[in-house]
A = this chain, B = another copy of it.
Amino acid sequence: MIDDTLKTWHQLVEEKNANGLDEILADGAVFHSPVVRTPQEGKALTKLYLAAAIGVLGNSDFRYVREVVGESDAVLEFTAELDGIYINGVDMIHCDEKGKIVDFKVMIRPLKAVNLLHTMMAKMLKGTKSD
């Protein structure tokens, strides 16, 4: 189940196709950002944040470098470079029994990258909301 979802996820990231997220996100999906503690609840908000992430990082030298996959959880490590700043992070994905993503968490290192993402995601989400 989770393998199919991961395959679709990789394809969407590759194609920068945020609309395709509808297919793999559960209705009650929750997004946890690397910057803020408060979870973003619901499919719509999760999609908004993931679309912003795909938008921001899609323009960088983004690549996945390690993948650890369990029964219903996957951790995808990536590296990227944006404005000359090195970004190393993980997408932590938890799926329900149907393979839909119910929980998506992102962590980032080092500190410089967290600060950069903070600034860029804020700009990006502001733009998305007012569009």
A98-131 vs B: 1/0 string, CB under 8 Å?
0000000111111110110010000000000000
Residues of the B chain whose Cβ atoms lie less than 8 Å from the Cβ of A112: 37
Q: Is the CB of B115 within 8 A of A111?
A: yes
Interface size counted on chain A using CB atoms at 8 A: 32
Q: For the complex, what is the distance from the CA of A84 to the CA of B37, rounded to whole Å? A: 13
Residue A50 interfacial (CB < 8 Å): no
**Interchain CB contact under 8 A, A110 and B35:** yes
The answer to the question of A66 belonging to the interface, with a C-beta cut-off of 8 Å to chain B, is yes
Contact of A111 among B32, B67, B118 (CB under 8 A): B118
Which residues A53-81 have CB closer than 8 A to chain B?
A: 66-70, 73-75, 77
Q: How far is the CA of A75 from the CA of B106 in the complex (A)?
A: 13
Query: What would be 10 A-B contacts, judged by CB atoms less than 8 Å apart?
Result: A33-B109, A33-B110, A34-B109, A35-B109, A35-B110, A36-B111, A68-B68, A68-B75, A77-B92, A90-B90
Other 11 A-B pairs with CB < 8 A, given A68-B74, A114-B114: A34-B109, A35-B109, A37-B86, A37-B88, A68-B73, A77-B92, A105-B109, A107-B109, A108-B109, A109-B114, A111-B118
